[in-house]
Chains A and B, each alone.
Chain A
Amino acid sequence: MEAITNHNKKPGGLKRNSFLYKMLQQKYLYLMSIPFVIWVFVFSYLPIWGWTMAFQKFRPARSFWDQDWVGFKHFVDLFSDDRFFLVMRNTLAMSFMGLVANFTIPILFAVLLNELRHQVFKRFVQTVSYLPHFVSWVVVAGIVTKMLSIDGGVVNQMLMGLNLIDKPIQFMGEPHYFWSIVTASDIWKEMGWTTIIYLAAITGIDPEQYEAARVDGAGRWRQIWHITLPGIRTTISILLIMSIGHLIQIGFEKQFLLGNPLVIDYSEVLDLYALNNGITQNRYSFGTAISIFNSVVSIILLFVANGIFKRVTKESIM
């Protein structure tokens, strides 16, 4: 604070190149960043201190020093809980399905968009495709439930109209459909948004390559296969590798909002498992153990991803 009041005086006695002299010179930069550094410490780093809860028999009313320490008990409980393996299966299954869907359909969509000749139509399709990204998962879950409902849902109506089924299917109540519903909803919501990056990458491809290909008599499919797709290969692989780091961090919004008690065995993912145990049942220590497991696996996956990335591109993403 002294730095502000003295800012007109020459900091006498300090050498021009000394650390303190420079610090005084940059006092505004410090003042503009320190509050946020403290903020980041409180909201992002203090929760990591909360990990100690996982090694205690945590009781909220007691101070840190009065807690009973139990070592790895909660982790032993976690790894011997049958539910945990079910939850891991659900998490990984939806994660992989999302990965496959997100690395095929949006890429295909971007390539096809790029092939549209009519610019106004192209712009219109793009604008519409961004639309679902901007509505919340709450809304999307409501819409999906409506579209798949047995009374008046368009999907059942269509299937009935085509005589593919005799009576409406209760999509939301059938556990085996849950993973596909989540993946499909995700694609419906984010497909257009994901294409932004791919379209930007396609724009970077040299138009002369297409020119040359056409002179050689290459049709549209061959141009896509030999120029467009190889042209965005780097973008695809970077995004693919980065998504490895997020394999088990798939969030829980979709599963929370689309799930219901009928499908819980297929909808419960790691975060929901932590939420149900930690907050609904007040098992704070157990819930924290789940969170730690989640974070540690994510970090390991991130290092793996970064390792692969370094091999491929000789650069680091971290």
Chain B
Amino acid sequence: MTQPKRKLMSTSMSDKLFDGTNIVVMCIILIVTLYPFLNVLAISFNDSHDTVRGGLTIYPRAFTLKNYETIFAYQGLITGFYMSVLRTVVGTLFGLISGSMLAFVLARADFQARKFVSTFLALTMYVSGGLIPVYMLMRDLNLMNSFWVYVLPGLVSAFNVFVIRSFIDGLPFALQESAKIDGANDFTIYWRVILPLCKPVLATIALFLAVGQWNSWFDTYLYNGSSPSLTTLQYELTKVLQSTTNSADFRGKNITELVTSVSPESIKMAITIVVSLPILIIYPFLQRYFVKGMTLGAVKS
């Protein structure tokens, strides 16, 4: 990002006022964004009986680890953690392979069926069968109460394919031609030549896929709600959070029923932290990748 050199000019009074106000506005935005997370963090480490008194801000008044001990003793959360990790890893891996393979094929201008495959794929961005027909299809395919319902429906994303393709388009085609002269077939070119060069765009797509997998709860609710062994962290959190407001709508037992000795509030907040922490730790390191990826996607689509 090139910033115009402003220091050369003398800053006027109104410009100084502008800068001051701007910094104040930015600080307010920082507070509004961060305060809720810090508040949740404080409550999660606070003694549950003390929490009921209210008035907690950004530090725990009576520090304790008991809330975390309680939730980690709950089987649903352990299973949920395992499932969330598994679906994130498998879903991201499958998504990367399918996305990059299709992108590679569609980036080949000489491919006979390119126009057809490309249109066939692009249409899925605009037309969808809708909630109920998809639900019935999953039932007919025996994907209810199965791990694969987390991975298969979202396997090919047209958007991801087009983002990766526009990246491959930017690579010199001579690379592919020289590999071809050396006797490599198209699959080898994809695997040995193109894939290693796609690392930056694949990092972006991997982040999008992983975040999507980690954060989804609705598929668990809709398809696997009656299989405790397939529960996910987000779904467990949904159950706990909705237990006070919307309990009639939810299936199964929740933690607050199981552990009555602890304030539900602290438990909720502890689970919230456990659920969000992995992604919050990772994302700042991938910032340059997703900023590039977003920009690339926006320009091309």
- Tell me how far the C-beta of B88 lies from the nearest C-beta in chain A, rounded to whole angstroms: 12
For B252, list chain A residues within 8 Å (CB): none
Bound complex: CA A197 to CA B22 (Å): 21
Bound complex: CA A29 to CA B106 (Å): 9
**Chain B contact patch, size range:** 35 or more
Quick check: is A243 within 8 A (CB to CB) of the other chain? no
- In chain B, positions 1-52 with a C-beta closer than 8 Å to chain A are 1-4, 6, 9, 12, 14-15, 18-19, 22-23, 25-26, 29-30, 32-37, 39-40, 43
Instruction: Tell me the interface secondary structure of chain A in the complex.
Output: helix
- Tell me how far the C-beta of B55 lies from the nearest C-beta in chain A, rounded to whole angstroms: 6
- Bits for A247-290, please: 1 = Cβ < 8 Å to B, else 0: 00000010011011100000000010011001100001001101
Given contacts A112-B25, A135-B280, contact A43 B153 (CB under 8 A): yes
Q: Is there contact, CB below 8 Å, between B129 and A291? A: yes
For B25, list chain A residues within 8 Å (CB): 112
Q: Is there contact, CB below 8 Å, between B129 and A51? A: yes
Q: Is there contact, CB below 8 Å, between A219 and B135? A: no
Q: Is there contact, CB below 8 Å, between B34 and A138? A: no
Q: Is there contact, CB below 8 Å, between B4 and A211? A: yes
- In chain B, positions 114-164 with a C-beta closer than 8 Å to chain A are 117, 120-121, 124, 126-137, 139, 141, 152-153, 155-156
- Tell me how far the C-beta of A180 lies from the nearest C-beta in chain B, rounded to whole angstroms: 16
Select from chain A the residue with minimum beta-carbon distance to B218: A253
For B126, list chain A residues within 8 Å (CB): 245, 298-299, 302, 318
- Bits for B272-284, please: 1 = Cβ < 8 Å to A, else 0: 1001100110011
Q: Is there contact, CB below 8 Å, between B211 and A134? A: yes
Count: A-B pairs, CB below 8 Å: 264
For B104, list chain A residues within 8 Å (CB): 32
Given contacts A39-B156, A210-B4, contact A48 B101 (CB under 8 A): no
Given contacts A32-B101, A33-B113, A44-B129, contact A260 B245 (CB under 8 A): yes
Quick check: is A231 within 8 A (CB to CB) of the other chain? no
Quick check: is A86 within 8 A (CB to CB) of the other chain? no
Bound complex: CA A260 to CA B248 (Å): 10
Using a CB–CB distance below 8 Å, which chain A residues touch chain B? 7, 19, 22-23, 26, 28-33, 36-37, 39-51, 53, 60, 109, 112-113, 115-117, 119, 121, 125, 127-132, 134-139, 141-143, 145-147, 151-152, 154, 157, 172, 188, 192-193, 196-197, 199-200, 203, 207, 210-211, 214, 219-221, 235, 245, 253, 256-257, 259-261, 271, 274-275, 278-279, 284, 287-288, 290-292, 294-295, 298-299, 302, 317-318
